[in-house]
Structure 1
Amino acid sequence: MKKVIFVSLLVSSFYFGFSQNTQQEASVEKSVFGIQIGVLGVWVHNELRLSNQIALRSEIGLGGVSFDHIEPMIALEPRWYYNLNKRVDKGRRIDGNSGNYISFRASYRFFDISEAENDNQDYLLLTPTWGVRRNIGKHFNYEAGLGIGLAFRNENGKEIGYTSVFNLKIGYRF
């Protein structure tokens, strides 16, 4: 009886062991480094994989709300690429972290040197963002995103306001 139970357990373990789904889950890339140009600025960025669907984007660049108001800025943004498996199932590309994402963007804009002395103020933007990134060929990509968040101005630390973010960028991935 012990031999029958042992053999049946052995056979069933082989059956269940080899019948597992061997398809691997889609994942963001380990590291993506590139440069992007938008309507009002230029940025250098790097994305590091934190998990299969989450990447941490760090960014430094020059940007602004008009050509007369360009500011240096840095940003940190965890991104959740939520549709990677669906894109793979449909035969679409996910290289270079191509997909739809939801993020929480924290960016710090330094004051604009060209403005008058009393208008110089640094500010921090905290913005939940939805966006898409798609590849064009092997190295080029484009990205679009929008969000609404809070702006904390560094004028005695007391000014808080709402802000909207819209970005449209084209870039090169190294």
Structure 2
Amino acid sequence: MKKLIYLLMLFVLNLFSQEESLENQFKLEYNLLGVGVSYEIPISEKFLIDFGAGVGGGVDNAESYVWDFNSSLAAYFKGEFKYLYNREKRLKKGKSLENNAGNYIAFQTKYFTGRFSEIDIFNPLNRAILNEFHWGLQRSLGGNWLFNFHIGFGFLRNIDEDYNLLSPALGLKFSYKLF
């Protein structure tokens, strides 16, 4: 029993020990939905948590089961849990690990608010939650610039209209690391 507890403690300490090559990053972002900020926090040598918020398109549901990301302004808040799986391989090949570069598998939850203004009352933006699993890559573009791409699938829930949708997920963003 003592060996099991000891192994479990070693596993937990190893899981949450911070590797020097991963770093905290506060970033300004431009993505497919708008602009925002995020803070990337390493929790171990292979896991990151990325919290963010921004302003951009929202979820429009003018007709049942027809979903569009609208160009009117709404806010979003996100949390993403990333598992970086190829950093050792990148290091062996002499590729850069700068700015937490690597391939990853992730789970992300994003909350969209309703429209900021009531100018278009006939096509309101709805509050929605998007949960998605995706595969992605993050690369340093030199200096403090980053590129991030992901593809996967998501489950979108319209809170106001009580509709759900399973859909593909695609993300593309450019970031600038402030610190």
Q: TM-score, normalised by structure 2?
A: 0.74
Counterparts of 2:107 and 2:21, CA distance in 1: 17
CA spacing shift, 1:118–1:154, aligned 2, 3 Å:
farther
Counterparts of 2:122 and 2:89, CA distance in 1: 52
Please tell me whether residue 151 in structure 1 is matched to residue 144 in structure 2: no
Q: CA deviation at 1:155?
A: 2.2
Q: Quick check: 2:76–2:111 contact (8 Å CA) kept in 1?
A: yes
CA spacing shift, 1:78–1:62, aligned 2, 3 Å:
same
5 Å matches for 1:16-165?
29-64=22-57, 65-66=69-70, 68-114=71-117, 115-116=120-121, 119-155=124-160, 158-165=162-169
- Which stretches of structure 1, 4 residues or longer, exceed 4 Å deviation after superposition? 25-28
Counterparts of 2:136 and 2:94, CA distance in 1: 21
Give 3-state SS (helix, strand or coil) of 2:90's partner. helix
Q: CA deviation at 1:137?
A: 1.3
Structure with higher strand content = 2
Structure 2 counterpart of 1:169, from 137, 156, 173:
173
Counterparts of 1:81 and 1:101, CA distance in 2: 4
Larger radius of gyration: 1
Select the structure with the greater relative contact order (CA < 8 A; seq sep ≥ 6).
Answer: 2
Q: Quick check: 2:147–2:173 contact (8 Å CA) kept in 1?
A: yes
Superposition RMSD on alpha carbons, in Å?
Answer: 2.1
Counterparts of 1:113 and 1:162, CA distance in 2: 26
Q: Quick check: 1:38–1:169 contact (8 Å CA) kept in 2?
A: yes
Counterparts of 1:119 and 1:43, CA distance in 2: 22
Give 3-state SS (helix, strand or coil) of 1:96's partner. helix
- Identity rate, percent: 24
Q: Quick check: 1:26–1:84 contact (8 Å CA) kept in 2?
A: no
Amino acid corresponding to residue 165 of structure 1 in structure 2: A
Point out where structure 1 has 5 or more consecutive residues left out of the alignment: 1-24
Q: CA deviation at 1:101?
A: 0.8
Amino acid corresponding to residue 132 of structure 2 in structure 1: T
User: Residues 78-133 of structure 1, C-alpha deviation per residue, up to 9 Å, x if partnerless?
Assistant: 00011000000101111211111110000000012354267342010000011111
